[in-house]
Amino acid sequence: VEGKIVERFDCYEGTSAKAKLSKDLYVQGVNFFARKPVYPLEVEGYPDNNLL
Amino acid sequence: MAATCPVGFNVQRLRELVRAEYDRVAREPQGNFHFHRGPQYASRMLGYDAEELAAIPDESTASFAGVGNPQRIGPIALGETVLDVGCGAGMDLLLAARRTGSTGRAIGVDITPAMIERAKSAALKAGLWQTIEIRRGTAEELPVESESVDVIISNGVLNLSSDKLQSFGEIYRVLRPGGRLHLADVVVQRELSLAARSDVDLWAA
C-alpha cells in the first residue's frame, strides 16, 4: 500500500503542548492519503501491473 | 508516531487514561487542555468550512479536538460507506454523512461513552440518524465487517493507539479493495526516545 502526506498543519501552535515539546521534534498535524490495492498483485514494482 | 509500545507497557492504563482525558473533553470542552478544540479552531487553523460547521450541532463541534482535516483529502461520493475511527463527538462523522447522503452509511467507532452520547445526540438533531451508526470499540479491534467500507476517516486518534501496526491492519481489513484512507494525525520529525515511548501519560496526552 502506498500513501502520502498531502497537507500539514501547525495544530499545536499557541498551546501549552507546543511550549513543552522539544523544538527538534517538530510535532505537527498532517493529512495523509492511501488506497487499498484493488488486486493483491497491484504493488509497486510488480511487472504485470499494467496487464491487470 | 511510534508504531508500537515497549515491552511491559501498561496498555490497559493507557486506554483508561485516554478514555478519561476525552471523557473530560466531552463533558467540559471549555476546560483547560494542552490542545485546541472547537469549531473556530477547526475553521481558522485546519481549513474547515465555517458555514458547513455552523450546520453541525454545537455539542459535536465544541468537543472537536482533531489535528488535521480529513474532509480536504478527497471526495466522498453519494452512497458510499464511510467509517470514522475514533469519531469522538462526531463532527467529522456528521460532515461525512452529509456527503454520503441517505443512500450511504456513516459508521463511527469510539472508545469513550460520553463522546458517543454526544455524537448520537448530534446525529439526531442534525437529522442524520438514519445514515449514521455509532459503535463502541477501539482502533485495534474495529467492530466492522471485513471489506465493507469505501472510505475510512480518522482525525487525531491513531497516535493514541498502543499498537499502530494492529490498528493499520484493521484499517486494511475493513476497507474494500480500492477503498481509501483519509487520515489526519500527528507526526514527529525524529524517533521518540525509549523513555518517552514508555511514559503512559505522554501517550495519552
**Tens of pLDDT, residues B88-134:** 999 999 999 999 999 999 999 999 999 999 999 999 999 999 999 99
Closest-CA residue of chain A to B47: A9
- pTM equals 0.89
Please check whether residue B72 is in contact with residue B95, taking contact to mean a CB–CB distance below 8 angstroms.
no
Torsion of Cα atoms, B129 then B82 then A11 then B27, to 10°? 30
Q: Is B2 on the interface with A (CB under 8 A)?
A: no
Average pLDDT over residues A34-41: 81
For A11, the closest of B46, B175, B178 (CB atoms) is B46
Three-state secondary-structure class, residue B97? helix
β-strand partners of B81: B105
CA separation (Å) from B134 to A39, B127, B137, B149? 30, 15, 10, 14
**What is the structure's pLDDT at B112?**
94
**Cβ–Cβ below 8 Å for A9 and B73:** no
Q: Residue B141 phi/psi, 5° resolution?
A: -140, 75
**Cβ–Cβ below 8 Å for A25 and B70:** no
**Cβ–Cβ below 8 Å for B45 and A39:** no
Consecutive 10-residue averages of pLDDT for chain B (205 residues): 62 83 90 90 97 96 96 97 98 98 97 96 96 96 98 96 93 96 91 72 65
Q: Is B194 on the interface with A (CB under 8 A)?
A: no
Q: Residue B56 phi/psi, 5° resolution?
A: -100, 135
DSSP letters along A5-29, please?
EEEEE-TTTTSHHHHHS-GGG--EE
- Local confidence band at A12 (pLDDT 50, 70, 90 cut-offs): confident
Closest-CA residue of chain A to B172: A36
Who wins on pLDDT, B51 or A1?
A: B51
**What is the structure's pLDDT at B151?**
98
**Cβ–Cβ below 8 Å for A13 and B45:** yes
Q: Is B37 on the interface with A (CB under 8 A)?
A: no
ipTM strictly over 0.85?
A: yes
Determine how many CB atoms are found less than 10 A away from the CB of residue B118: 26
